[in-house]
Structure 1
Amino acid sequence: MKYAVVGAGAMGLRYGLLLQEVAGQSVDFIEPTKASLEKIKGQGELVFQSRDHQDKHPVFVNIYSPEEYTGEPDVWIFFMKQMQLGETLTRLAPHFMAHQVAVGAMNGMGHIEKLQSYFDDDKIIGGTAMIATILNDFGDVDFIGKENSGRSAYSNLSGQKTAETKAILEDFQAAHLNPSYSDNFMGTLLTKVFFNAVENSIATMFQARMGDLLSYDQFVPTIAKPLVDEAYDAAQAAGITLLETREEMLVQVDYVAREVVPLHFPSMYQDFVKNRPTEVDYINGWIADLAEANGRSAPTQRFITNLVHLAEAMRQFNPPINQLSGSN
């Protein structure tokens, strides 16, 4: 399969480099962010890859702006920020073809509806990635955790696994993305969203590593549980069943932060310290909207959304300290 990865940020580079270097697949990168594209091209179309801040080495990539790209991939993989996706799809629209598959494993919610404007439902695969990755700078990516660690999950929007999905998951397995599949489309996507509604937003506000949150011994029962309960109540009201129970989600929140990536700064923090808008509206805010659209309320989710926006506004008075280079 030939892949085009849209977005050369942390996760876009992680997926693309693993598919290219480990699975041996043909990969093109499309980078709509001008500064990132110029930086990578200025490095001789090289990106620098490291793992846990060690063994930094250059890797050659084929990288283009949306307007420059003339390739015909079998699969598009989208790793944009939610607020950037619409414009990027417009720029890429002349290159989309009916036979192509779109994979969206982005943070938050909102991207699937945008993809539906360009791809048929049976060509859209939604996914989630529990794979810790840091973008130190444009064209400089750090894989966090041991090799072949992390996991990902996928589901067809149409509700039926296709031959194309099977082939993609085989490539993802060869690339050490450790994929699983479920016919429960919304349940698959919301599992990551609900997790991020706890870990990402709280760690960002307090500029903390994920493991640091557990230094407060009441974090899970007094902070994580109310957020998880509101999220699951909203899903239940909307008729959505997740892959995990709410009790299992709380266990995961504790386990991932304590045992898997305790030294990791989540992606929302990475945007926060670089003075970029965060995706909180597409995570906590989306959950609050889901609840209200189905006759419920999620005041804690709404409050956290507003607190993250307040923290963004306070950056002009108290500039955050970028701890990414020393996070492990």
Structure 2
Amino acid sequence: MKFTVVGSGAMGLRYGLLLRDAGNEVDFVDPWKPQVETVRKQGGVYVSRDGQGRHLVPMKIFYPEEYQGNPDCYIFFTKQMQLAGVLERCAHFFKPDQYAMTCMNGMGHIDKLLNYFKPDKVLAGTALVATVLNGPGDVDFIGKRGAGTMNLANYTEQPDDFTHQVVHELDKAQFHPNLTTNFRGTLLAKVVFNSVVNTLCTMFEMTMGEFADYEGFEDMSLQLINEAYDACERDGIRMINTRQEELESVKYVSRVANPLHYPSMYQDMHNYRKTEVDYINGYLVKLGDKHGYDAKTHRFLTHEVHLAEIKKAKELREMQKETVKTA
């Protein structure tokens, strides 16, 4: 099978390289100039696992405007706020018979993908897979090979033969895919997970394991989970996990699977980038607002993250001023 990964950051690289290792043909497309130019200069990307064994893995990478490949399936791993612009830049090479798959964080991406792909060609899911982009051309796969799990569903909730082929290839690549027929419930399970772990670890600059060691970990997690489920259920979403099962997932991933991991939102904040909080906690707030329900803890956390972003932007400006003075 031929895949093209659009957005070759941490998760895009992990999916693309492991699918290639499993015997598939994989191209990489990225709009981010530092990534493209660094990979081209190096002749590939440096890959580590848990910070060890850093080595160069050859790969080719293209800007959207120059790509002319014809894959069976695209895999999208951009940030939510970047997706619309990236799709516009890529539109010239999309074809009607091609599939789109994504396991992006947050919500907001599906409607954008449906502007370019037929509903029966859209696959989306969630990935509990920890990966860190140390910088352009340098990625760290967290956890032993085969670590992590994922859920996947068709937008139409009617899996076809191609979907089963994709699941087979993902299984060969050791992503442990679970195919469901509950599209919104599948996607919202990860949104709820991220609304707890990503946001709180970011606000307090700690690993998932450090958060899980706090005596109030379960109380804080359950408060956010309950609010999220209250909002989702009011919108008619049938969740794939019970509230207790969602809490157990947060506990297991934080304490056992990835205790040393800093979530992606933390990585964005730490590197002075905008976070996806509006597409995670903020999405749950809007979902509740539609039905007159105030997800007030999620609303408060969304504001907190935005305040932290303002502070980080100020820090960056001060650093840039000092650099100019020194120069």
Same fold (TM over 0.5): yes
Cα drift, residue 318 of structure 1: 5.6
Q: Please give the TM-score of this superposition, normalised by the length of structure 2.
A: 0.95
Per-residue deviation, residues 253-282 of structure 1 (Å, max 9, x unmatched): 112111111000001111111100000000
Provide the aligned C-alpha RMSD in A: 1.0
User: What's the counterpart of residue 326 of structure 1?
Assistant: none
Cα drift, residue 203 of structure 1: 0.3
Contact 2:147 2:257 in 1 (8 A): no
Contact 1:86 1:114 in 2 (8 A): yes
* Superposed counterparts of 1:310-325, under 5 Å: 310-316=307-313
- Aligned equivalents of 1:251, 1:176: Cα separation in 2: 22
- Aligned equivalents of 2:297, 2:61: Cα separation in 1: 42
- Aligned equivalents of 1:61, 1:313: Cα separation in 2: 37
Cα drift, residue 110 of structure 1: 0.4
Runs of 4+ in 1 over 4 A off after TM superposition: 316-319
Contact 2:7 2:28 in 1 (8 A): yes
Q: Please give the TM-score of this superposition, normalised by the length of structure 1.
A: 0.95
Matched residue of 2:28: which SS?
A: strand
2:262 to 260, 265, 284: 265
Contact 1:27 1:62 in 2 (8 A): no
Amino acid corresponding to residue 139 of structure 1 in structure 2: G
- Say yes or no: does 1:245 pair with 2:248: no
2:175 to 158, 174, 177: 177
- Say yes or no: does 1:306 pair with 2:303: yes
2:140 to 135, 139, 142: 142
- Aligned equivalents of 1:172, 1:311: Cα separation in 2: 37
* Superposed counterparts of 1:78-97, under 5 Å: 78-97=76-95
Contact 1:8 1:139 in 2 (8 A): no
Amino acid corresponding to residue 40 of structure 1 in structure 2: V
Instruction: Name which of structure 1's ranges 184-193 and 33-42 shifts more when overlaid on structure 2.
Output: 33-42
* Superposed counterparts of 1:13-162, under 5 Å: 13-21=13-21, 23-44=22-43, 46-162=44-160
Cα drift, residue 295 of structure 1: 2.3
Matched residue of 1:146: which SS?
A: coil
Matched residue of 1:28: which SS?
A: strand
Number of equivalenced pairs: 316
User: What's the counterpart of residue 218 of structure 1?
Assistant: 216
Cα drift, residue 294 of structure 1: 2.0
Structure 1's unaligned 5+ residue stretches are 320-328
Structure number having the greater helix percentage: 2
Per-residue deviation, residues 49-85 of structure 1 (Å, max 9, x unmatched): 1101111111111210000100001100000000000
- When residues 316 and 109 of structure 1 are mapped into structure 2, their CA distance, relative to the original with a 3 A threshold, is closer
Cα drift, residue 316 of structure 1: 4.5
Matched residue of 2:68: which SS?
A: coil
- Aligned equivalents of 1:251, 1:155: Cα separation in 2: 22
User: What's the counterpart of residue 255 of structure 1?
Assistant: 252
Identity across the alignment (%): 49
- Aligned equivalents of 1:102, 1:228: Cα separation in 2: 29
Structure 2's unaligned 5+ residue stretches are 317-327
Contact 1:126 1:156 in 2 (8 A): yes
